[in-house]
């Protein structure tokens, strides 16, 4: 059994703790949170010891691995300490909001980076991973275009947004990572536009609520990503890939597959699964499984700190492109 400590018992910590506890080859050895009652709530539900200090878990000889689900500004310090202590690490996105700090972390890890995984969970979503596999199997022929639509159901609280790093680094970073993975190539050029369609208060933070990004790779593949912080119909997560041999796309998920028909309407369906915890339930489970499998078989991690740095580099470039209305070269 791989003994794992969950650092941070907030929103994402609760998801990961449940998946670790349910995994047949792992145990939840500890949950750490300075708000000790948060840690205790999870250890009561899933087992393990509750601790307040992450360094206590990191230096504990009976712990093999840590999952970092703490606030973003703590990621680099905890990741480096855990890797240095010989633990395998799954660190939530983003590595950091400061690209220089993220690159410095990658350098400092050196060889140890092999045992550090980044939490880009969407790569493990069954629909997106099927699209990835089908492209590799040649189902769309020559790859021409990728379109990603990623809309949140509503704006996060202002207190959160102030420290989030902005829509590109906080939200679109998931889609930028997906884009790199699906394209199979690094973008060399990016343009972006940002608007405040419904929340003017974001201007004071230099942030936007509605953005579009366009990217091109060296071989000419094109990618467009659309993000909104307010989709009144629910959490909208779709991808379309297009090429010489056809197209593949996915649908949003709903609680049931029922469709209602009446004298006034047809094809009426229930709402979309509301937010990331519901929509990506299976992706989070498979992400933890991939982490445990890599540790068990001493394989390289499927998503790396380098991936985290590359996605952050794209997010920074998108912010610059939106702010300056310029095409940013990434070559």
- Which residues would be at the binding site for ligand NAD (CB under 6 A)? 7-13, 32-35, 38, 54, 69-72, 74, 92-93, 119, 121, 276
- The four Cα atoms 197, 203, 207, 213 give a dihedral, to 10 degrees, of 50
CA distance 151 to 171: 9
Q: Which is nearer to ligand NAD, 214 or 252 (CB)?
A: 252
Q: Distance between alpha carbon 164 and the CA centroid of its chain, in Å? A: 14
Q: Which residue is nearest to ligand NAD (CB)?
A: 10
Nearest approach, Cβ of residue 329 and ligand NAD (Å) = 28
CA distance 311 to 173: 6
Nearest approach, Cβ of residue 166 and ligand NAD (Å) = 13
Q: Which is nearer to ligand NAD, 210 or 237 (CB)?
A: 237
Q: Which is nearer to ligand NAD, 12 or 63 (CB)?
A: 12
Q: Which residues does 198 contact at the CB level (< 8 Å), separation at least 6?
A: 155, 209, 210, 230
Q: Which is nearer to ligand NAD, 288 or 292 (CB)?
A: 288
Nearest approach, Cβ of residue 73 and ligand NAD (Å) = 9
Q: Which is nearer to ligand NAD, 71 or 270 (CB)?
A: 71
Nearest approach, Cβ of residue 39 and ligand NAD (Å) = 8
Q: Which is nearer to ligand NAD, 13 or 194 (CB)?
A: 13
Q: Do residues 116 and 108 make contact, with C-beta atoms less than 8 angstroms apart?
A: no
Nearest approach, Cβ of residue 157 and ligand NAD (Å) = 11
CA distance 168 to 29: 35
Cα of first residue to Cα of last residue in the chain, in angstroms, is 44
Q: Which is nearer to ligand NAD, 93 or 151 (CB)?
A: 93
Angle formed by the axes of helices 173-183 and 126-136, nearest 10°: 30
CA atoms within 13 A on the CB side of 222: 8
Q: Which is nearer to ligand NAD, 50 or 135 (CB)?
A: 50
Nearest approach, Cβ of residue 69 and ligand NAD (Å) = 5
299, two tokens: 């394989």
The bridge status of strand 26-32 relative to strand 49-51 is parallel
Q: What are the C-alpha distances in Å from 267 to residues 71, 232, 236, 273?
A: 42, 19, 18, 17
Nearest approach, Cβ of residue 11 and ligand NAD (Å) = 4
Q: What does 5-66 look like in DSSP terms, one character per residue?
A: EEE--SHHHHHHHHHHHH-TTEEEEEEE-SSHHHHHHHHHHH-SEEES-HHHHHT-TT--EE
């Amino acid at each position: 059994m791989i003994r794992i400590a969950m650092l941070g018992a907030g929103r994402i910590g609760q998801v990961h703790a449940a998946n670790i506890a349910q995994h047949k080859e792992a145990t939840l050895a500890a949950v750490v949170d300075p708000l000790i009652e948060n840690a205790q709530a999870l250890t009561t539900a899933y087992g393990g010891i509750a601790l307040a200090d992450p360094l206590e878990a990191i230096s504990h000889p009976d712990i093999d691995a840590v999952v970092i689900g703490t606030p973003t500004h703590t990621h680099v310090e905890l990741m480096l300490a855990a890797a240095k202590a010989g633990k395998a690490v799954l660190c939530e996105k983003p590595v950091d909001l400061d690209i220089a700090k993220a690159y410095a972390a990658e350098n400092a890890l050196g060889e140890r980076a092999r045992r550090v995984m980044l939490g880009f969970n969407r790569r493990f979503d069954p629909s997106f991973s099927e699209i990835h596999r089908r492209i590799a199997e040649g189902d769309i022929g020559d790859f021409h275009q990728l379109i990603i639509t990623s809309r949140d159901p509503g704006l996060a609280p202002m207190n959160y947004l102030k420290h989030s790093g902005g829509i590109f680094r906080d939200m679109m970073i998931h889609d930028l990572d997906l884009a790199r993975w699906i394209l199979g190539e690094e973008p060399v050029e990016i343009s972006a536009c940002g608007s405040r369609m419904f929340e003017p208060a974001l201007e004071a933070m230099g942030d936007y609520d509605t953005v579009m990004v366009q990217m091109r790779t060296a071989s000419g593949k094109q990618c467009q990503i659309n993000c909104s912080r307010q989709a009144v119909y629910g959490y909208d997560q779709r991808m379309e890939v297009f090429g010489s041999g056809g197209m593949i796309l996915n649908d949003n998920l709903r609680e049931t597959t029922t469709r209602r028909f009446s004298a006034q309407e047809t094809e009426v369906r229930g709402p979309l699964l509301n937010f990331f915890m519901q929509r990506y339930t299976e992706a989070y489970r498979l992400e933890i499984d991939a982490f445990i499998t890599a540790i068990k078989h001493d394989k390289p991690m499927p998503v790396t700190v380098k991936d985290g740095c590359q996605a952050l580099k794209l997010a920074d470039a998108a912010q610059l492109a939106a702010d300056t209305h310029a095409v940013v070269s990434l070559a």
